[in-house]
Structure 1
C-alpha cells in the first residue's frame, strides 16, 4: 500500500471519530431533554389533578343537603379519573348496603337490572376490608359474583372506603375508565384524597341536618303542646303529629296506629303521605306494629320490602328504610310509623333519637290534655247535677202547681171556648213537664259515663247530623229509662230506624218540621217520627219502610205509617220489652 493511501486512511479515521464524538453528546442531551419534558408534563398533569381535586372538594362541600352531597361526591370522582360509571354505597347497621347511588346509568338502564346491589361479592370485600382496591378486570377477582341480568358490562375497578372519623360510612366505586385505559396509582391517590374530603363533607351535612331537625323538633313540640292544651281534639292532634313527624324525618309516609279497647287490633287513626292508610286495622299478634306496642321498644328496619309480614299496613308502606316508635314511655298509647322509598338513606341514630323524644313528648302532652279534659268533665257533671236539681225541685213543681190551678179554674168557667183554651194550656204544660223530666234524666245520666254511648246520645247525634240536609234542627224528646232499660241489640235497631226515618224525610217529605219522640215503659218501646211534609204518595218507594216493619216484627212490635191530620207523615214504631 502506498504511503499516501495510509495517510489518507488515518485522516479519515480521525474525522469519523470526531464526528461520533460530536454526535454522542447531542444524543444524550436529547434524551435528557425528553426525560425533562416528560417530567414537566407529569408535574403539569399532577398540578392539574391537584387543581381538579381542590375544585371537587369545594364542590362537594358547597351544599349541606346529605342526598345532594352524596351524589356530588360520585360525580366529582368520575370527573377526576375520567371514567364512565361510579356509585356510592352507604353501609347500614346490618353491614350490608342500605343505599346505593349510581351515576352514569340512565333510568332505563337501571330499570333493566334484575337485582339491586346488596353488598355481596366484590362490593362486600370492601365492606369487610375497608381498604383501597384496584383491579384491571373485575371478573378475574375471586370474590366476584358476576353481574346480574341486565347489568352493563364493566372491566376495570377502583374502590375506596369513605370514613367519618373512625366509622366507615360507605364505599366509593368507580369502573370503566374512558379510552380503554386502566386505573393507575395516581387515580387511587386522587380518589383516596377525595374520599377523605368526602367524609368531612358528609359529617358537616349530618351536623347541619341534625341541628335543623333539632330546631324543627323544638318548634313542633311547642306547637303540639300549645294546641292540645288549648283544646285541640285528639283526632286533629294525631294528624298534626304524623304530619310533623314525616317532615322532620324526611320520610315519604308517616302514620300512627292506636289500639282498640280490647287491645287485640291496632287501627291507623291518622296518616300523612298516603291517606289510604287511615282506617286500616292491624292485629297486635304477629305484626311489627303490635310488637312495638306490647314491648314499648322501637324497631328500625333498613329495608322494609323484604319483611315477611302479611299485615295490611306494612304491605302499603314504601319498601325502603322504616322506623316504628312507641307513642309514650311507661304507658304506650300507640305506635308511630315512618317509612322512606327504596334506595333512600337509612334513618340515622340521631334521627331515631329525635323521633323518640318527640313521640314521648307528644304522648305526655296527650296525657295532660286528657287529664284536663277529665277535670272539665267533672266540673260539667257537677253543673249538670245542679241544673237537674233546680229543674226538678223548682221549675217542674211550679209548672205542676200552675197546671193544677188551671184545672181547678176550668170547673168554674162557663164559656166552652175559654174552657177548651185552658185545657189546651194544661196539656201543653203536661208535655213541657215531660220534656223537662227527660232533660233532667239526661243531665243525671250524662255524668255516669253513658254520654256518647247511650241511646239518647246516639239519637241526638243522628238528629244533629241530619240538620245540614234538612235545613233545620229536628225536635227530639225522650221519656223513660231510655239508656238503661233498652237492650244493646234493640238500641241498634232503634238507632237504625231513626236514621232511616230522617233519611226518608230528607229525600221525600220536603218538610219544615220534624218531631222525634222516644218513650220507654216497662213493657214497650215506642218511637214516633212525625213531619209536616207532603205526605206519602202512591209512587213512594216502600223498601225503606219494609225494613222498618221487619225490624219491628223481629222485636215483637209493629210499624205503622200514616198521614198526619194537618199534612205530613207519622211513623209509629214499637218494640216489646
Structure 2
C-alpha cells in the first residue's frame, strides 16, 4: 500500500488522461452548438423582420415578395418562391425573388401533380433533386436541385406554399434547416393573416369614410347647388338685358353639369370592390384617383393603344402593382406639384417583342443621393420576372409642369407620351437601370432636382 501510495505522484499520465480527452471533445462540440445557435438566431431575426414588414402597411402582393426574399436569403437558396392556390386546384407562382427570375412568375403547377395534395393538406415536402424527382412535374423543375416546399399554414387554412430551391448540384438541406424553415413558414403565415386583417380594418375605415363623404355630397352639396340653380333661373326670368340673361343661362347649365358630375362621384364612392369594373384602364384610373387623395392634386393619366385588349391578366396585375409602388414613392418623397402617368400598349421592346410600357413622371425633387431604393428594386424585380425591365431618369421640370400639358384623362398620348417615352423603344434606354444589386443608392440622384421618371415595361 505504501509503495502504491508513493508511486502515485510519479505517474501523472493516469490523472491527466481524462481531462486530456475532455479538452479535445469540447472544442468540437462548442462550435457546432454556436453555429446552430447562430443559425436559429438568423431565422428568428428573419421572422421578426418579415412580421414587421408585413404589418407596416404593404399590399398583399408586396407582402408575398417580402416573404420570398427573406426565405431565400435565410435558406441560402437560389430562389425564394411563393405559390397560391388556383381556382382549378393547382398552384401558381405569384411572387419570386431569384438570381434568374425570368420564366418563373406565372408558372402553374397542375392539380394532378403529386406534390399538390400533401402541400395543400399542410404537409411540407422536401426534395433532394427537383430535376430528377418524379413528383416534380412543373415546367421549371429542371432548373433546380434540392428544394424545400413549405405550406404557409394558419390553423387549418393553407394560404399558399413557400419554396426555397437551390441550384443543381448544391448540398441538400440539413434537418436543422428544414425545421427552422418550417417554423419560419408558420410564422410568416401568421404574419400574413394579421396583415390581411389589418388591411381589412383599414379598408373598412376607408369605405365608412367614403359613405360619409357620399352622404355629405348628396345631402349638402347637391342640395345647395340645386337651390343656387333655382335662384339663378328666377333671376334669368327677371333679367331685361339679353346678354345678362344668356350668361345666367350658361351658369345654370354649368350647375346642372356639375350636379351630374357630383352624382357620378357619389355613385363611384358607393360602389363596392366586387362591383368595380376590372379592366386595366379602370384599374389604372382607380390607382391614380386613390393617390390624388394623398397628393392633394389629380395626376394625369394617358393611354396609348388597346390597353384592355392587349395586356394580359398577369402583366396587368404586375403593372398595377408597379404603378402603385411608383405613386407611393412620389407621395412619400417627391414633393411634386404634378405627376403624369402614361400606359402605352403599342411599344416594341429593345429585343423586338411587343410590350407595354408604364411611365410615371413627376416634377418633384428627384431621388436624393444615398436615398433608399428598395421601392425601385421592387419595380425591377417585377419587370424582370416577366422578361421586362425597369429604368429611371429625369422627370418633368417645374416649367414643363406649369403649362398644363397632358392633363387629359384618356387622350391619345401625343403630348405627354412623347415626353415620357414615345413608344419607339428608346424611351426606356435613356434612364438608368434599376435593381443592379449594389444596394448603395448612391447613383440614384438622376432626378437632379428636375423630378423623376420611372419607366416599367414588360412583354405582352
Shift of 1:400: 0.8
Correspondence 1:36-47 to 2 at 5 A: none
Deviation at 1:434, TM superposition (A): 0.9
Q: Is residue 239 from structure 1 mapped to residue 132 from structure 2 by the alignment?
A: no
Q: CA 1:314–1:503 in 2, change beyond 3 Å: closer, same or farther?
A: closer
Q: Which has the higher helix share?
A: 1
Query: Offset of 1:305 from its aligned partner?
Result: 2.9
Paired position in structure 2 for 1:512: 405
Task: For structure 1, list consecutive stretches of 5 or more residues without a partner in the other structure.
Answer: 1-53, 62-196, 477-490, 517-527, 535-577
Please tell me whether the aligned partners of residues 472 and 513 of structure 1 are also in contact (alpha carbons under 8 angstroms): no
Greater relative contact order (CA < 8 Å, ≥ 6 in sequence) = 2
TM-score (structure 2 length as normaliser): 0.56
Determine helix, strand or coil for the equivalent of 2:93.
Answer: strand
- Say which of 323, 346, 349 aligns to 2:148: 323
The change in CA–CA distance for 1:206 and 1:256 in structure 2 (over 3 A counts) is: farther
**Residues of 1 paired with 2:73 and 2:344: CA distance?**
46
Partner of 1:258: 84
Q: RMSD between aligned alpha carbons?
A: 4.3
Q: 1:312 aligns with which of 110, 126, 139?
A: 139
For residues 258 and 215 of structure 2, the distance between their equivalents in structure 1, rounded to whole angstroms, comes to 17
Query: Structure 1 residues 351, 457: CA separation in 2 closer, same or farther (over 3 Å shift)?
Result: same
Matched, 1:230 2:49: no
Structure 2: unaligned runs, 5 residues or longer: 1-19, 313-341, 348-357, 360-402, 417-460
- Contact (CA 8 Å) 2:68, 2:81: kept in 1 or not? yes
SS at match of 1:306: coil
The change in CA–CA distance for 1:233 and 1:419 in structure 2 (over 3 A counts) is: same
SS class of match (2:50): helix
- 1:8-157 counterparts in 2 under 5 A? none
SS in 2 for 1:450: coil
- Rg (Cα) greater in structure: 1
Aligned counterparts of 2:124 and 2:51: Cα–Cα separation in 1: 23
Equivalent position of 1:273 in the other structure = 99
- Partner-residue secondary structure (3-state), 1:312: coil
Q: Distance in 1 between matches of 2:131 and 2:310?
A: 48
2:108 is paired with a residue of what secondary structure? strand
**1:246/1:253 contact within 8 Å kept:** yes
Contact 1:396 1:433 in 2 (8 A): yes
1:343 positional shift: 3.8
TM-score, with normalisation over the residues of structure 1?
0.46
Is the CA contact (8 Å cut-off) linking 2:121 and 2:158 kept in structure 1?
no
Q: 1:529: how far off?
A: 5.7
8 A contact 2:218–2:266 mirrored in 1: yes
Task: Return the offset for 1:302.
Answer: 1.9
Distance in 2 (CA, whole Å) between partners of 1:433 and 1:345 is: 69
User: Does the residue aligned with 1:271 lie in a helix, a strand or coil?
Assistant: strand
- 1:456 positional shift: 8.7
Selected match of 2:175 from 343, 349, 363: 349
Distance change in 2, residues 1:402/1:456 (3 Å)? farther
Q: 1:460 aligns with which of 282, 285, 295?
A: 285
The answer to whether the 8 A contact 2:68-2:95 is kept is no
Aligned equivalent of 2:36: 210
User: Following the alignment from structure 2 to structure 1, what is the Cα–Cα distance between the partners of residues 259 and 207?
Assistant: 22
